[in-house]
Amino acid sequence: MSTTTNTTDLTTFRALSFDCYGTLIDWEAGLAADIAPIISALPAGHPWHANPMLALEQFDNYSYHLNRARPTLAYDANLVESARLLATGQGITLPEGVAETIATGPSRWPAFSDTLEGLWRLRRHYKLVLLSNVDDRNIARAMMGGGPLAGVEFDAVYTAEQIGSYKPDHANFNYLRAGVKREFLVERDEELLHVARSLLHDHVPAKELGIRSVWIARGGDKLEASGIGGGYEAIKGSGKLGSEWTFQTIGEFADEVDRQFAEKAKQKK
């Protein structure tokens, strides 16, 4: 069931911007598979065997700090360096083949089951824009035949590689604003809605910049939830969140959008 926090009209927006990995594509499942050889190489009693999420959290920490320290480093190179740091931090060398595998991971990691159908439905009502930290090559391959986003047409794709910085840097969101104004004549923030799961990378900077947003929680609003992108209770308590709607999936968000547009059409008759 959706957990929308607002019944405000969703039909007034003209463009939706999406985070991709974690929101549309299952970043955690894909990455977990690609770093599994690192965990397998650790001693039998290592805690990562029992709880691989600990390895994902450490990987994300390395990746985040690389993003901040080296903002022009392409994401495929960031993934390889983060994997190397993950291995050497545990006293082992990076297993053979991991670097080659993880560098291309974003082009094949699976989409969530609700993603494609939800995007097709949303496309009937809005311009669709990707705002991603992933590099150009991996994003392009993800949209090709056989890729996790094959069959979905985005009206614009803005990546960290193009922008020269990574979310949550404000430069990425200002680039988004300028892009939708230039390409789609979206002049006002009230016409742009950002859709994302990550609190730290997306919703915190969106609030700071006055960009309205939808949280695709994917279970992240539960007290027992684990995952990447910022702890809900801690960030909520800090007052840094400004998302106006919460849905568990892209599919549930599309359901509400379809409902509102259908209701509006009835009122015009």
Structure tokens at 241: 């969140």
- Residue 56 burial (C-beta neighbours within 10 Å; 0-12, 13-18, 19+): buried
Tell me the one-letter amino acid at 265.
A
Tokens of 201: 């990378």
DSSP string, 60-128: HHHHHHHHHH-TTS-HHHHHHHHHHHHHHTTT-PPPTTHHHHHHTGGGTSPBPTTHHHHHHHHHTTSEE
Mean pLDDT confidence for 109-115: 98
Indicate the residue type of 155: D
Rounded average pLDDT over 72-92: 98
Among residues 9, 19, 221, 255, which one is catalytic?
19
- The percent of residues in the chain predicted with pLDDT above 70, rounded, is 93
d(CA 193, CA 171): 17
Above pLDDT 90, what percent of the chain?
A: 85
Domain ranges of the chain: 15-26+110-268, 27-107
What's the pLDDT tens digit per position in 198-233? 999 999 999 999 999 999 999 887 654 445 555 676
Nearest to 76 by CA among 66, 89, 86: 66
The second-level CATH assignment, the architecture, of 15-26+110-268 is: 3-Layer(aba) Sandwich (3.40)
The predicted model gives 44-48 an average pLDDT of: 97
Is residue 226 within 8 Å of 207, Cβ to Cβ?
Answer: no
Question: 73: buried, middle or exposed (CB in 10 Å: 19+, 13-18, 0-12)?
Answer: middle
Q: Return mean pLDDT, the chain.
A: 93
Is residue 169 flagged as an active site residue? no
- Average pLDDT, stretch 235-262? 91
The residue type of 93 is T
Q: Output the pLDDT for position 235.
A: 74
Closest by alpha carbon to 6, among 263, 240, 243? 243
Rounded to 5 degrees, φ, ψ at 214 are -115, 130
Residue 236's SS3 state is helix
Closest CA to 18 of 198, 248, 228, 229: 198
Supply the pLDDT for residue 7: 61
Q: Which two tokens stand for residue 252?
A: 């549930």
- Pairing between strand 192-196 and 212-216? parallel
Asked if the model's pLDDT at residue 236 lies above 50, the reply is yes
What does the pLDDT read at residue 241?
A: 81
pLDDT at residue 66 greater than cutoff 50: yes
